[in-house]
Structure 1
Amino acid sequence: MDSELVDGRSGPGTSTVSDGLDPRRWKALALLSVAFLMIILDGTIVLTAIPSMKEELGFSTSGVQWVLTAYALTFGGLMLFGGRLADLLGRRRVFMTGLVLFVAASLLCGLAWSGGVLVGARALQGTAAAFLGPSALAIVMTTFPEGPERNTALGIWGGIGGIGATAGLLVGGSVTSGLGWEWIFFINVPVGLVALALSPVLLRESSDRRRPRAFDPGGAVTITAALVLVVYAVVKAPRTGWTDGVTVGLLLAAAVLFVLFVVIETRTAEPLLPLPILRSRMVVGGNVAIFAVGMTVDGVLFVLTLYAQQVLGYSAIQFGLMTAVMTGMAIVGALTGQAVVTRIGLRPVMVCGMVLLGSGCLLLTRVSADGGYVDDLLAAMLVFGPGLGAAFVAAQIAALTGVREQDSGLASGLVDTAFRIGAALGTAVASTVAVSRTQEVLARADSTLPTGPALTEGFRAAFAVTAVIALVGLVAALVLPGARKADADS
């Protein structure tokens, strides 16, 4: 072990995580998974509640989008900082702080009396999620030693991610229809309070006692600002255009800040991101792969939702129920993937996962304007689901393999950031392609052409692009070290 990880309950120096396996570890995983599910759901659960929020709080059409954007900006921009903060101050401490903030922000969201208050509360909720996510994953890393048990834990983690990624529409639609949009936030309060009460009982505190609590303010400011600008640019791009001056300016500013961040990190005694961690082919390959997974999955889910509702005419609740098969298959893929990784290595599982994701995307390029669930969607979901689970788990294990325990929070923040930025970019790219292709078809066609076929052409083009993105992930998977080389390359 590279650092002394102290059990906060028994006092400094009396017990370490490395002394043996924590008998509470599976209960701890259940607790951490609940928190993870909350923050994943809250990224998408609001989609079905947007019309109700707009009507009751007097949002404009553009203004209501900030309910989504505010969460995405703070969540995506602060995760790297949140992960390093967990390493320095204590992972359980940061996790519990994030829970308190998340519960408070959720309560404020539900009680919001104006659009401005709701947007501000969503920004606070995203900030809390940026502390919760990396610290929770870091606790998983320090609770389960590298090997079969950690792979199993990450398989369960991946299954939870699959549930969260696909269940938001169903949960949000049901709760909004039955209780009102406020309750998609209120339900976080009792769940969060129970998790907060159980945290001191089930979670060990861990931090590096020998490392000075030296922060890197320059690195924190530059990387956070750069990530926020990237997320904001890709969220705005589908509406303003990728060549719009504002979009280009934001991306250029982000690039300058990234360069400045690298310069700062090379000259700082205690950097936010120690650059040697990026020398690991396993860590870099895993992060590139999970970036591609995020782009593919969120790009597909976004376009799939539009196709089901705008072309096939399904309600949000109907479509949510129909995605249950994909959710179930994602869990199967995650659990199967983690079981196989230890036996045959990461690369075959990652390759298989990306092939399934790409195949699912290609099947979706066959959707039709007069189709249906069984004819157009079911086969693709049955293929895409297990690919999602297997690829997510394998990429995450790769990105965390060989990382020193003292850097577990940082590594968790890095992999969460890669996935979240990928998800935002995938949604933006798929949306842009779909809109552009639809407009092109309408411009060339007779004015009597129904909207459905034109929309379908756009959605087909977007699915084709996500297949190309999956191919990029496949390339990243192919360069991962083999099972026996993992330790040497990390």
Structure 2
Amino acid sequence: MATTSETEVGTAPKGGGKADGTGSWGFRQWGLLISVCAAFFLDALDNIMVGIAVPPIQADLGMSTGSVQWVVSSYVLGFGGFLLLGGRMADLIGRRRVFLVGVAIFAVGSLAGGVTDEGIVVIAARFVMGVGAAFTAPAGLSIIITNFPEGPQRNRAVGIYTACGAVGYSTGVIVGGALTEISWRWTFLLPVVVALVAFLGAVALVPRDSTADRGGATFDVAGAITVTAAMLLLVYSIVAAPEEGWTAPITLVTFLAAVVLLAAFVAIERRAAQPLLRLGLLRNRALVGASLVAAAILGTYMSFQFIGGLYLQSLRDWSPMEMALAFLPVGLLIMTIAPQAGKLIARFGVHWMIFAGFVAYTASYLLFLRIDESSSYWWVILPSVVLIGIAFPFSFPAANVQATTGVAEEEQGLAAGVLQTGYQVGAAVVLAIVTATMSVGHHEVESDATLSSYHSGLWVITGISVVTLLLTLVAAVRASARRREAGTTAQR
């Protein structure tokens, strides 16, 4: 995860605001940021709300356990499958246009899911919502990157962007619980309103893309088809493997097909005059390293939250609202720290911020391994929750800044798509590994066996976090050495 050079975060802004990034922004800058952040808030809010609504959806629509899990998984499938395509389309036809299309697709899917009486339509609607998010996520981040100058202003904007996601995650559990008490349909219908606000705000405040902002007029159709099909099959094989079996024919065939399609995509991109993904971009060690960090961040955290939810609700018999309040400090801490992320990155650099984040992640997961059948919330659970709330605003904004710094403006959308692919595929892969580990040798229903399965999954999460911690330490030390060497050379 080492990078070729330390991100330059202390340079003076190219326009507006003080060099420390604390200068005031105008109405249009704030409005643009809020509009883009609303889409990120919506993605986080929706994911949490629908997760809580799954049991009522199953009961109301008469869905089997095997089918209802696709209410969650189909969203991941659409999101992960179309991210690279969404990022490149933002570069080719305009970030604003793709962002607006993505928000509109998300709203239509959410509305369809809220009014249907058919389980298959709910699953299809969630897939459509995932596709919409696959367009808004890279387009939204690239809008921020290209409208806020590299340095403190951009770091500050990314920190606020992170905080808005945290608000979605932290309020989603509570809002989802409250809405589900009325009807699960409101967990689909409320996002339509938020999407409308984000759409109208973007129409009014996000500047139109000039011709110079676009990467070219041609579109690599063959590359788009092969990489989208490959990502869909890859995410599907990962999501379905715990239920189908890792060595089941369907798992092996879909995984092999994904590999073949990815190989075909690479061959196509080598010959294409206007490739969907310029393969040279993957030689950008900062982008690749940040994407691997992103995979570890969301993969370990989502798995931790999954086990934490099972532990509190299934083993301890806590209500969804009690669980929401238990995890609320995560969101509150992110909301408090994330707006200061720009200053912290400027002072310590992205590598040391990511390393510090994984120190906190690892400590959190190790502390949570102490859970038993009667663990105290204040002495066992809360310390882990607090450390997650510190780790996320340290690592998430820094990874976003690292991934997009130094990338040409005409490839910012694609770089954001690569980074978001890291987040989504990482979440799918790690969660699949964790759930498979939890099921091995733990088929009994007794509480001791259940607790043992939680510990097995937590050890996998902790192991991934430790490996990432060591790799990010190496990257931080090397980056510091390069800065010292550059400073010595400059003095000469």
Structure 1 gap ranges (5+): 1-16, 443-449
How far apart are the structure 2 equivalents of 1:211 and 1:454? 55
How far apart are the structure 2 equivalents of 1:456 and 1:335? 37
User: Post-superposition shift, 1:207?
Assistant: 5.0
Corresponding position of 1:152: 156
Seen in structure 2, the aligned counterparts of structure 1 residues 166 and 485 have a Cα distance that, compared at 3 Å, is farther
In the alignment, which of 121, 124, 129 is matched to residue 125 of structure 1? Answer: 129
Letter of the 1:479 partner, please give it: A
Once the two structures are superposed, residues 26-64 of structure 1 have per-residue CA deviations (whole angstroms, 9 ceiling, x without a partner) of 221111111111122222321221121112222122111
User: Post-superposition shift, 1:329?
Assistant: 2.2
1:337-416 maps to which residues of 2 (within 5 A)?
A: 337-416=341-420
How far apart are the structure 2 equivalents of 1:479 and 1:259? 30
Structure 2 gap ranges (5+): 1-12, 18-24, 487-492
Q: Classify the secondary structure of the residue corresponding to 2:69.
A: helix
Corresponding position of 1:95: 99
1:60-71 maps to which residues of 2 (within 5 A)?
A: 60-71=64-75
User: Post-superposition shift, 1:470?
Assistant: 1.1
How far apart are the structure 2 equivalents of 1:245 and 1:323? 39
1:295-334 maps to which residues of 2 (within 5 A)?
A: 295-334=299-338
Corresponding position of 1:482: 479
Corresponding position of 2:185: 182
Seen in structure 2, the aligned counterparts of structure 1 residues 320 and 411 have a Cα distance that, compared at 3 Å, is same
Question: Does residue 195 of structure 2 align to residue 217 of structure 1?
Answer: no
User: Post-superposition shift, 1:147?
Assistant: 0.6
Corresponding position of 1:472: 467
How far apart are the structure 1 equivalents of 2:54 and 2:391? 30
Letter of the 2:420 partner, please give it: D
Corresponding position of 1:197: 200
Corresponding position of 1:6: none
How far apart are the structure 2 equivalents of 1:20 and 1:381? 38
Identity %: 35
Q: Classify the secondary structure of the residue corresponding to 2:479.
A: coil
Q: Classify the secondary structure of the residue corresponding to 1:113.
A: coil
Matched length:
462
Once the two structures are superposed, residues 322-344 of structure 1 have per-residue CA deviations (whole angstroms, 9 ceiling, x without a partner) of 11112222334434443211122
Corresponding position of 1:238: 242
Is the 8 Å Cα contact of residues 43 and 72 (structure 1) preserved in structure 2?
no
Seen in structure 2, the aligned counterparts of structure 1 residues 211 and 336 have a Cα distance that, compared at 3 Å, is closer
Is the 8 Å Cα contact of residues 14 and 150 (structure 2) preserved in structure 1?
no
Which has the higher mean CA deviation after the structures are superposed, 40-49 or 349-358?
40-49
User: Post-superposition shift, 1:269?
Assistant: 1.0
Seen in structure 2, the aligned counterparts of structure 1 residues 19 and 168 have a Cα distance that, compared at 3 Å, is closer
Seen in structure 2, the aligned counterparts of structure 1 residues 353 and 304 have a Cα distance that, compared at 3 Å, is same
Letter of the 1:290 partner, please give it: A
Question: Does residue 422 of structure 2 align to residue 418 of structure 1?
Answer: yes
Q: Classify the secondary structure of the residue corresponding to 1:157.
A: helix
Q: Classify the secondary structure of the residue corresponding to 2:442.
A: helix
How far apart are the structure 1 equivalents of 2:105 and 2:45? 17
Q: Give the TM-score normalised by the residue count of structure 1.
A: 0.89
Is the 8 Å Cα contact of residues 156 and 341 (structure 2) preserved in structure 1?
no
Which has the higher mean CA deviation after the structures are superposed, 164-173 or 281-290?
164-173
Corresponding position of 1:9: none
How far apart are the structure 1 equivalents of 2:367 and 2:211? 49
User: Post-superposition shift, 1:167?
Assistant: 4.1
Question: Does residue 450 of structure 2 align to residue 455 of structure 1?
Answer: yes
User: Post-superposition shift, 1:171?
Assistant: 2.3
User: Post-superposition shift, 1:438?
Assistant: 2.6
Q: CA RMSD in A?
A: 2.2
Is the 8 Å Cα contact of residues 163 and 339 (structure 2) preserved in structure 1?
yes
